């Protein structure tokens, strides 16, 4: 057995958790949010704290190094290494009840920062440091990096201090050599009395602190002067006046000294009522100059952002409403966001008003200041600021922007001058980047357009960082103000601390980790900032021919695979976004958008993932991607996994026989076309296990039934539109509403006609090809699109709107069409003429009928990604429907994905993340509105006892039953089976065919017997 295999074997024997040493896992963990890449030896996902201890024991027996990992959002390369990765984020997530006496809470390292705060806020307390990644980063990671956040100002003024280190009470740790113990402030008596390895550590650290006391005092300014000193090890915590605090000394060691098993954290008063004041300034430097008088008002947050960030978010259409609400939005050069908190609304507002009055005295003019007291508005504005790092990574005007010098910090009063000088360093090296950050604590962020793909570019990157580091130190600053040193800044530490203290750091590490096996090559004796680069001068990925156009990536699929900057938003465990439903269920890195993007990146690198389009690792990760398009909308850098998945499947299956379900579901339009000849017969067969088996469908689901009459047939039979003189609109007869939910189709036709328009409906075989993408039939998909362009040209060419009933089908015209035929002018025209059903009502200001009911609204994921569901909500409100929108991931069915054998459990679990429980909880008098075929099916098949209606069916109800709608429970029951029926003649003809066939068979059988 080789060393790696033996290690994996022994780890599997020692732990309950998951041990993955395969290529897929190594690819998943080879990068983080930094510029670096180092494929690990393997990955362990421990289930228990004892597992973590066991990993240390086994690794030590094998001499294997270790790195700990939470959410992996580190920006300095702290979590990439050639080591065994311990991923704490999946199982080690316990959060205790807050101890109100000591105002602390006990948590495991994988607990998510925001989840801790949600738990403790119920007792009026929070954990102060909240990084922008607070919704998914872990406490282990916060401790590892000594993180800070927007509300570090709050914990500085009202709690224990700005950084995580200031807010740590004690830690339970395990060392590489297996010593497990609690650390915190340690008395002289305890140091003396403790024996064994632990006592050795105590005494060695005390000696270290005593020998370097003078230098420590000189080079470690207090948090009052430099609140964000995050670089280096916290040797100041070993000083007697700080209580020889071993816990705080370990915070920020980036997993290079010991592993944290549990943390007891200090909590800060939550001050839940908030008011936000936003001030506009000419530029970021003059905004930063204001910090001192603003801090005198003791805000709980003081952040800044400049026009470049504003412009990037505006061009990306991120937070459009929030951006328009900023004061002097047209001409402002930079904004300060000043937040006030209190226990009561009145008090928070009063603080904001007093501050605003003072701001006038400090020269802030009319129109340069806005006060916000609506929590939703405030939240939206914070998202503008927190979205900074991601929004500036690939700005729409071009260029790739990277971390590297993205979190330096100086004493806050000196920040304005520091920025003026720093801008000169940018200009000298021909570099650019937006500025935004935590001005209240002197910490400024910026992604920079380094060229990390050429030798010259990398030389400039180094020269710039070295000069910027010297500048920062000359201002009495810290190289890192929150993200840590890792590999990015570690080699620069002598500039900040001098050689003596760097030698003391080395000794500090050696005391904890004499074998030098904890995250080696980071912080001390670190790898250089220009080695192990993810791209690097040698970056030459495989660039295969691809079917999609990738217009945002200059047509380069390889660029699309570096788009993921590792922010981790796709690892949100729950919440209002769609992204990423599969991770929400499995909590597994490989089922995040990020994980999939990384595997595709590695596929093109070809080093770990070697089989190109035939890679089973990539296939496995993509298998649970629901192609819900959640990432295309929610991922801050627009990672477009459904497109990459379709591309991958196309190449993987090219000229090969695909799995059964690919034909049954991918070609559903053709299957349905044939089935519509004998729908009754096919519906009978559809119930049988054999049918499901043949279609590759799960036996747990009912097969949707084909309508007895198609919508097109009904429309023809009624003689076309009833409004021949109205303005013309095309209703696109998608496969689902044409051949299954024809009741919805009828309701749509009638709703549009009732609004005075003339409906045109293309006849013959019409299909957008939606399901083809899910199975990678891209050649066919392109043919379908070209046929759509032909079929619909007479209308979109004449400016007639094309309206979709099924959101996922209409989304093809808004999304896939543009990506598959990026240069086709007709495609652009069709895309511009296409409207989701409610969008059409809004755009042309149509009057809907009144319906005074309450409804639960569920928006289809594809609609959310191609225009959103605001139009739906507004239309319902216009009708008089009191609407509550359910926002919680994806329905889980996602087209045919949840019908496939093998996806059923995850599909249902995704529905249970939000949609299904909300529907069950809803009053049975309320309506449930969902326009998507799959969402409706999931609600029906998900044990809710309810059936959702299309918004057009609500209009139908209003017309047929008046504004009160259908009375009583389950109002949708009135529309349970109202699909149009065929005429007697058509039915008789249909029955005749099988009758003749059966007759012929009997006759043939008899003849045989006679013979």
Ligand X SMILES: Cc1cc2nc3c(=O)[nH]c(=O)nc-3n(C[C@H](O)[C@H](O)[C@H](O)COP(=O)(O)OP(=O)(O)OC[C@H]3O[C@@H](n4cnc5c(N)ncnc54)[C@H](O)[C@@H]3O)c2cc1C
CB of 453 to ligand X, least distance (A): 21
Number of chain residues interacting with ligand SF4 (CB under 6 A):
28
580 prior amide bond cis, ω within 30: yes
71/295 with CB nearer ligand X = 71
Candidate segments 511-519, 545-553, 626-634, 994-1002, binder of ligand SF4 by CB under 6 A: 626-634
How many helices (H) and strands (E) are present in the chain, helices listed first? 46, 23
CB of 622 to ligand SF4, least distance (A): 8
Is residue 486 at the binding interface for ligand SF4, with CB under 6 A as the rule?
Answer: no
CB of 303 to ligand SF4, least distance (A): 21
E-strand ranges in 534-626 read none
3-state secondary structure 194-206: CCHHHHHHHHHHH
570/792 with CB nearer ligand SF4 = 570
The position carrying tokens 């220009």 is: 530
394/835 with CB nearer ligand SF4 = 394
32/237 with CB nearer ligand SF4 = 32
109 binds, among ligand SF4, ligand X, none (CB under 5 to 8 A by kind): ligand X
CB of 90 to ligand X, least distance (A): 12
Best CA proximity match to 748, nearest among 733, 735, 762: 733
Site residues (CB under 6 A) for ligand X? 32-33, 67-75, 78-79, 88, 109, 131-133, 137-138, 140-142, 144-145, 147-149, 254-255, 259-260, 389-390, 482-483, 519, 566-567
Is residue 570 at the binding interface for ligand SF4, with CB under 6 A as the rule?
Answer: yes
Q: Among 7, 126, 501, 628, which residue sits at the site for ligand SF4 (rule: CB under 6 A)?
A: 628
CB of 567 to ligand SF4, least distance (A): 3
Residue 719: CB partners within 8 Å, gap ≥ 6?
none
CB of 212 to ligand X, least distance (A): 24
599/747 with CB nearer ligand SF4 = 599
Are 960 and 941 within 8 A, CB to CB? no
Is residue 597 at the binding interface for ligand SF4, with CB under 6 A as the rule?
Answer: yes
368/605 with CB nearer ligand SF4 = 605
Three-class DSSP category at 382: helix
Residue 832 to residue 845: CA distance in whole angstroms: 18
255 binds, among ligand X, ligand SF4, none (CB under 5 to 8 A by kind): ligand X
863 binds, among ligand X, ligand SF4, none (CB under 5 to 8 A by kind): none
Residue 429: CB partners within 8 Å, gap ≥ 6?
460, 463, 464, 467
Residue 235 to residue 511: CA distance in whole angstroms: 13
Judged by CB under 6 A, the chain residues 641 through 660 that form the site for ligand SF4 are: 641-642
Candidate segments 176-184, 325-333, 559-567, 807-815, binder of ligand SF4 by CB under 6 A: 559-567
98/387 with CB nearer ligand X = 387
CB of 525 to ligand SF4, least distance (A): 30
Is residue 865 at the binding interface for ligand SF4, with CB under 6 A as the rule?
Answer: no
Are 867 and 320 within 8 A, CB to CB? no
Is residue 979 at the binding interface for ligand SF4, with CB under 6 A as the rule?
Answer: no
Residue 997 to residue 482: CA distance in whole angstroms: 77
3-state secondary structure 513-553: CCCCCECCCCCCCCCCCCCCECCCCCCCCCCCCCCCCCHHH
Best CA proximity match to 230, nearest among 121, 148, 128, 344: 148
CB of 410 to ligand SF4, least distance (A): 29
Are 141 and 74 within 8 A, CB to CB? yes
Cβ-count burial of 350 within 10 angstroms (0-12 exposed, 13-18 middle, 19+ buried)?
middle
406/806 with CB nearer ligand X = 406
CB of 865 to ligand SF4, least distance (A): 9
69 binds, among ligand SF4, ligand X, none (CB under 5 to 8 A by kind): ligand X
Phi-psi category of residue 422: left, alpha or beta, with phi > 0 → left and psi -120 to 50 → alpha: alpha
Cα 133 to chain centroid distance, Å, stands at 10
Q: Among 59, 183, 277, 635, which residue sits at the site for ligand SF4 (rule: CB under 6 A)?
A: 635
Are 965 and 956 within 8 A, CB to CB? no
What DSSP string describes 692-724? HHHHTB-TTSPPPPPPSS-HHHHHHHTTS-S-T
Residue 431 to residue 448: CA distance in whole angstroms: 7
In sequence order, what are the beta bridge partners of 182? 172
Which value, to the nearest 10 degrees, does the dihedral of the CA atoms of residues 742, 743, 749, 755 take?
-160
642/914 with CB nearer ligand SF4 = 642
CB of 129 to ligand SF4, least distance (A): 21
Residue 204 to residue 737: CA distance in whole angstroms: 75
CB of 1000 to ligand SF4, least distance (A): 49
Is residue 568 at the binding interface for ligand SF4, with CB under 6 A as the rule?
Answer: yes
The vertex-543 CA angle with 537 and 547, nearest 5°, equals 150
Is residue 637 at the binding interface for ligand SF4, with CB under 6 A as the rule?
Answer: yes
Cα 98 to chain centroid distance, Å, stands at 29
980 binds, among ligand SF4, ligand X, none (CB under 5 to 8 A by kind): none
In sequence order, what are the beta bridge partners of 707? none
CB of 259 to ligand X, least distance (A): 4
User: Strands across the sheet with 18-20, in order?
Assistant: 18-20, 42-45, 84-87, 66-69
CB of 154 to ligand X, least distance (A): 14
504/622 with CB nearer ligand SF4 = 622
Relative to beta strand 301-306, strand 259-266 is unpaired
CB of 661 to ligand X, least distance (A): 37
Is residue 53 at the binding interface for ligand SF4, with CB under 6 A as the rule?
Answer: no
Cβ-count burial of 324 within 10 angstroms (0-12 exposed, 13-18 middle, 19+ buried)?
exposed
76/913 with CB nearer ligand X = 76
Are 260 and 109 within 8 A, CB to CB? yes
Q: Among 186, 582, 737, 953, which residue sits at the site for ligand SF4 (rule: CB under 6 A)?
A: 582
248 binds, among ligand SF4, ligand X, none (CB under 5 to 8 A by kind): none
Report which secondary-structure segment, H or E, holds 870. helix 870-879
469/635 with CB nearer ligand SF4 = 635
CB of 155 to ligand SF4, least distance (A): 26
The vertex-826 CA angle with 823 and 831, nearest 5°, equals 90
How many Å is the Cα radius of gyration of the chain? 31
Candidate segments 78-86, 298-306, 628-636, 965-973, binder of ligand SF4 by CB under 6 A: 628-636
CB of 69 to ligand X, least distance (A): 4
275/490 with CB nearer ligand X = 490
147 binds, among ligand X, ligand SF4, none (CB under 5 to 8 A by kind): ligand X
441/593 with CB nearer ligand SF4 = 593
81/834 with CB nearer ligand X = 81
Q: Among 301, 387, 442, 581, which residue sits at the site for ligand SF4 (rule: CB under 6 A)?
A: 581
588/926 with CB nearer ligand SF4 = 588
184/498 with CB nearer ligand X = 184
CB of 136 to ligand SF4, least distance (A): 9
Residues that bind ligand SF4 (CB under 6 A): 564-570, 579-582, 593-594, 596-597, 625-631, 635-637, 639, 641-642
């Amino acid at each position: 057995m080789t060393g790696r295999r033996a290690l994996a074997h022994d780890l599997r024997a020692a732990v309950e958790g998951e041990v993955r040493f395969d290529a897929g896992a190594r690819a998943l963990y080879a990068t983080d949010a930094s510029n670096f890449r180092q494929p690990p030896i393997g990955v362990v996902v421990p289930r228990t704290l004892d597992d973590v201890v066991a990993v240390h024991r086994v690794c030590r027996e094998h001499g294997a190094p270790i790195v700990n990992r939470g959410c992996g959002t580190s920006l300095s390369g702290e979590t990439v290494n050639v080591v065994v990765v311990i991923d704490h984020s999946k199982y080690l997530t316990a959060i205790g009840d807050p101890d109100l006496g000591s105002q602390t809470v006990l948590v495991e390292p994988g607990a998510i920062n925001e989840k801790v705060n949600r738990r403790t806020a119920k007792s009026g307390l929070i954990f102060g440091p909240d990084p922008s990644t607070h919704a998914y980063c872990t406490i282990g990671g916060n401790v590892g990096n000594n993180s800070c956040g927007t509300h570090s100002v709050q914990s500085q003024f009202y709690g224990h201090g700005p950084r995580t280190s200031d807010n740590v009470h004690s830690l339970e740790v395990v060392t590489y050599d297996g010593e497990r113990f609690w650390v915190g402030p340690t008395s002289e008596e305890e140091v003396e009395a403790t024996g064994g390895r632990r006592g050795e550590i105590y005494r060695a650290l005390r000696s270290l602190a005593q020998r370097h006391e003078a230098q420590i005092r000189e080079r470690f300014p207090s948090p009052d002067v430099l609140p964000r000193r995050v670089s280096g090890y916290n040797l100041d915590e070993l000083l007697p006046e700080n209580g020889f605090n071993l816990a705080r000394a370990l915070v920020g060691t980036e997993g290079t000294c010991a592993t944290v098993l549990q943390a007891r954290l200090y909590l800060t008063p939550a001050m839940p009522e908030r008011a936000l004041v936003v001030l506009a300034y000419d530029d970021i430097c003059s905004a930063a100059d204001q910090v001192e008088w603003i801090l005198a008002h003791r805000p709980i947050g003081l952040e800044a952002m400049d026009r470049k960030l504003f412009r990037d978010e505006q061009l990306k259409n991120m937070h459009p409403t929030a951006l328009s609400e900023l004061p002097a939005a047209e001409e402002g050069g930079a904004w300060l966001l000043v937040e006030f908190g209190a226990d009561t609304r009145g008090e928070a507002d009063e603080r904001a008003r007093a501050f605003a009055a003072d701001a006038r005295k400090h020269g802030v003019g009319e129109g340069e200041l806005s006060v916000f007291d609506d929590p939703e508005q405030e939240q939206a504005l914070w998202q503008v600021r927190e979205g900074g790092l991601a929004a500036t990574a690939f700005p729409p005007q071009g260029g790739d922007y990277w971390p590297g010098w993205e979190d330096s910090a100086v004493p806050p009063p000196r920040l304005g001058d520091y920025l003026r000088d720093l801008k000169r360093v940018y200009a000298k090296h021909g570099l650019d980047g937006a500025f935004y950050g935590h001005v209240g604590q002197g910490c400024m962020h910026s992604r920079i357009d380094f060229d990390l793909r050429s030798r010259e570019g990398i030389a400039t990157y180094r020269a710039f960082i070295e000069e910027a580091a010297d500048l920062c130190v000359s201002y009495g600053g810290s190289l890192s103000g929150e993200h840590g040193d890792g590999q990015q800044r570690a080699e620069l530490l002598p500039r900040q601390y001098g050689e003596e203290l760097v030698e003391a750091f080395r000794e500090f590490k050696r005391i904890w980790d004499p074998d030098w096996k904890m995250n080696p090559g980071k912080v001390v004796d670190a790898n250089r900032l220009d080695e192990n680069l993810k791209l690097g001068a040698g970056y030459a990925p495989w660039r295969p021919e691809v079917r999609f156009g990738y217009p945002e990536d200059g047509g380069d699929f390889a660029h699309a695979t570096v788009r993921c900057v590792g922010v981790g938003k796709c690892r949100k465990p729950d919440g209002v976004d769609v992204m990423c439903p599969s991770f929400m269920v499995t909590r597994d890195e490989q089922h995040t958008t990020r994980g999939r993007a990384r595997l595709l990146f590695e596929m093109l690198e070809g080093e770990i993932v070697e089989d190109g389009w035939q890679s089973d690792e990539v296939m496995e990760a993509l298998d649970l991607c629901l192609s819900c398009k959640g990432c295309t909308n929610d991922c801050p850098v627009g990672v477009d996994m459904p497109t990459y998945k379709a591309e991958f499947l196309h190449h993987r299956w090219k000229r090969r026989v695909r799995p059964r379900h690919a034909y049954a579901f991918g070609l559903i339009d053709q299957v349905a076309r044939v089935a519509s000849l004998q729908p009754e017969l096919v519906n009978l067969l559809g119930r049988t296990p054999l049918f499901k088996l043949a279609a590759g469908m799960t036996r747990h689901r009912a097969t949707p039934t084909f309508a007895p009459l198609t919508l097109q047939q009904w429309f023809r039979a009624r003689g076309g539109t009833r409004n021949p003189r109205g303005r013309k609109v095309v209703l696109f007869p998608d496969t689902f509403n044409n051949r299954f939910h024809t009741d919805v189709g009828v309701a749509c036709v009638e709703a549009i006609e009732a609004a005075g328009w003339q409906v045109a409906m293309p006849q013959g075989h019409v299909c957008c090809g939606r399901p083809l993408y899910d199975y990678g039939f891209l050649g066919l998909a392109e043919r379908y699109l070209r046929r759509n362009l032909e079929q619909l040209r007479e209308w979109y060419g004449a400016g007639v709107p094309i309206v979709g009933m099924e959101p996922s089908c209409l989304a093809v015209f808004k999304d896939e069409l543009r990506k598959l035929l990026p240069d086709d002018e007709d495609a652009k025209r069709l895309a511009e003429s296409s409207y989701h059903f409610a969008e059409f009502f809004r755009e042309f200001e149509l009057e809907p009928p009144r319906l005074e009911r309450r409804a639960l609204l569920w928006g289809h994921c594809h609609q959310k990604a191609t225009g959103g569901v605001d139009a739906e909500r507004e239309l319902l409100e216009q009708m008089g429907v009191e609407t509550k929108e359910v926002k919680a991931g994806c329905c889980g069915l996602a087209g045919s994905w949840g019908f496939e054998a093998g996806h059923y459990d995850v599909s249902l679990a995704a529905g249970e993340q939000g949609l299904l429980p909300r529907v069950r909880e809803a009053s049975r008098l309320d309506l449930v509105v969902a326009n998507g075929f799959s969402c409706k099916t999931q609600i029906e098949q998900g044990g809710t006892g309810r059936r959702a209606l299309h918004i057009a069916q609500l209009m139908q109800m209003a017309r047929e039953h008046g504004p009160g709608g259908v009375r009583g429970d389950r109002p949708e029951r009135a529309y349970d089976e109202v699909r149009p029926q065929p005429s007697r003649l058509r039915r008789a003809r249909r029955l005749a065919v099988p009758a003749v066939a059966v007759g012929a068979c009997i006759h043939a059988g008899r003849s045989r017997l006679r013979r």
